Amino acid sequence: MAVPGTESGNATVPPQGGDITTEVVVLGGGLAGLTMAAALASAGVPVVCIDQDSPERMGDREFDIRTTAISYASKMVLEAAGVWHHMADQAGPMLDIRIADQFSPLFIHYDHTELAMEGKHQPFGWILDNKDIRHALFTRAAELPGLVHLAPAKAVTVERKRSGVSVRLADGRTVRGRLLVGADGRRSMARESAGIKVRRWSYDQSAIICTIRHTEPNKGVAVEHFLPNGPFAVLPMTDNRCSIVWSEKSSLVDTYLKLPDDQFIDELQRRSGGYLGEITLLTKREAWPLSVLLADRFIADRLALVGEAAHAIHPIAGQGLNLGMRDVAALAEVVVDAYRLGLDVGGPEVLARFQRWRRFDTVLLAAVCDGLVHLFSNNIPPVKLARDLGMAVINRLPPVKRFFMKHAMGVVGDLPRMIKGQPL
């Protein structure tokens, strides 16, 4: 087995570190990009994944203190890619979700026992440290002979021709393939090289994040309070820990970040309602400005965009990475189908199928999340009353409630095989 994060993979890698030829080149080795590479390689498609950061740096807790909500659908994708069992022990299940407008007695309560998947009750999702997801991905990458993981390796130019794609690296090597997958984030080189325009807008909010330990068990309950300055989420983790995602008006964020620990904890207790008992901070506090990015299209000649290279949305519904995982599942399916039929995996028909599959779902979810932000980020009495009554109605209509529960799990719509538990 190769060492995670080093150059490993199939026979396309020259022994002396020269140019590399493969089928698919994934630019960006983050959570979505390396999952994409693992999914393809698990199905027998040769793939090279390029990332500019080293695995050692990315695996350090200080590199990224964030946590991620993995929906049931995303867990199925990670499972199909052979990644999930490397991270399952670190995953805190979300068994209940409670959504309230501020501290109103009228709220929505999702209970995982009200819905059966695969003939049994399943968590809505899981909360993990990003570092644990990365470690699982690095371990899986090292297991796959068809995956070449180049990290650290900086891409300096991208070229797409009718015959294929080529990515030139800073060390002088060139990686060639039939398809380029842009998984390189909001400032995507792959997207910009294709001249794909994006629509952007910002919210007057930033997300304050940290991880806490608490004395009372969280019982797998995820809580989200919609407050006038933005949603406040408490997400259950393992070992009596919770992740805090506190969306706050940007002008106030610096004040909260600079509070002494005891005063900051008092603010957390006030917003959470104190149900977790005594709280201690396990990580530093960070703030991330909140904005939306939506690419005008997700494909170009021999290029497909996934994850934040294609879209980034408000975390109000916890669907950021999960939206990217659905991209991964759809693109993996169309590429694997083409490869097994001996077709060009970067051909226009393959890419058009991917875009048709993913574009509508993404635009719709971005619009819904944007609407929720504007609906709940105010304290206007008539609007608040309407919100509370709407929540109460949803909570008392089982068919409507089950639909929203399935949506939270990511199992609504035309699902790829990976999400349905079927082999690629």
Mean pLDDT over 391-418 rounds to: 82
Residue 70 has pLDDT above 60, yes or no: yes
3-state secondary structure of 170: coil
Q: What are the pLDDT digits (tens) for 181-223?
A: 999 999 999 999 999 999 998 888 999 999 999 999 999 999 9
The Cα 324–Cα 36 span in angstroms is 10
Residue 317 has pLDDT above 50, yes or no: yes
pLDDT of residue 73: 96
The Cα 407–Cα 420 span in angstroms is 14
Element (H, E) at 256: helix 250-257
Non-local CB neighbours of 423 within 8 Å, separated by 6+ positions: 80, 417
Residue 110 has pLDDT above 90, yes or no: no
The Cα 298–Cα 3 span in angstroms is 33
pLDDT of residue 400: 76
* Confidence grade of residue 407 (pLDDT, cut at 50, 70, 90): confident
Tell me, yes or no, whether 33 lies in a domain: yes
Nearest to 211 by CA among 155, 281, 151, 117: 281
Query: Helix and strand tally (H, E) in the chain?
Result: 11, 24
Tell me, yes or no, whether 24 lies in a domain: yes
Q: What are the pLDDT digits (tens) for 226-261?
A: 888 889 999 999 999 999 999 999 999 999 999 999
For residue 305, give the DSSP letter.
E
pLDDT of residue 392: 67
3-state secondary structure of 9: coil
**What CATH number did the domain enclosing 27 receive?**
3.50.50.60
Query: Domain of 43?
Result: 19-61+68-86+128-200+293-379+407-420
Residue 42 has pLDDT above 70, yes or no: yes
Residue 395 has pLDDT above 80, yes or no: no
pLDDT of residue 398: 75
Tell me, yes or no, whether 349 lies in a domain: yes
Residue 12 has pLDDT above 50, yes or no: no
The Cα 112–Cα 306 span in angstroms is 29
How many residues in total does the chain contain? 424
Tell me, yes or no, whether 208 lies in a domain: no
Q: Which of 4-8, 70-74, 130-134, 176-180 has the lowest average pLDDT? A: 4-8
Mean pLDDT over 396-420 rounds to: 86
Tell me, yes or no, whether 179 lies in a domain: yes
The Cα 234–Cα 283 span in angstroms is 15
pLDDT of residue 99: 87
The Cα 132–Cα 414 span in angstroms is 30
Structure tokens at 292: 């939306």
* Confidence grade of residue 1 (pLDDT, cut at 50, 70, 90): very low
Tell me, yes or no, whether 107 lies in a domain: no
Mean pLDDT of the chain: 90
Tell me, yes or no, whether 346 lies in a domain: yes
* Confidence grade of residue 117 (pLDDT, cut at 50, 70, 90): confident
Buried b or exposed e, range 187-220, using 16+ CB within 10 angstroms: ebbbbebbebebeeeebebbbbbbbbebeeebeb
Pairing of strands 24-27, 47-50: parallel
Residue 355 has pLDDT above 70, yes or no: yes
pLDDT of residue 201: 87
Number of domains making up the chain:
1
pLDDT of residue 55: 87
Mean pLDDT over 320-349 rounds to: 97
Tell me, yes or no, whether 375 lies in a domain: yes
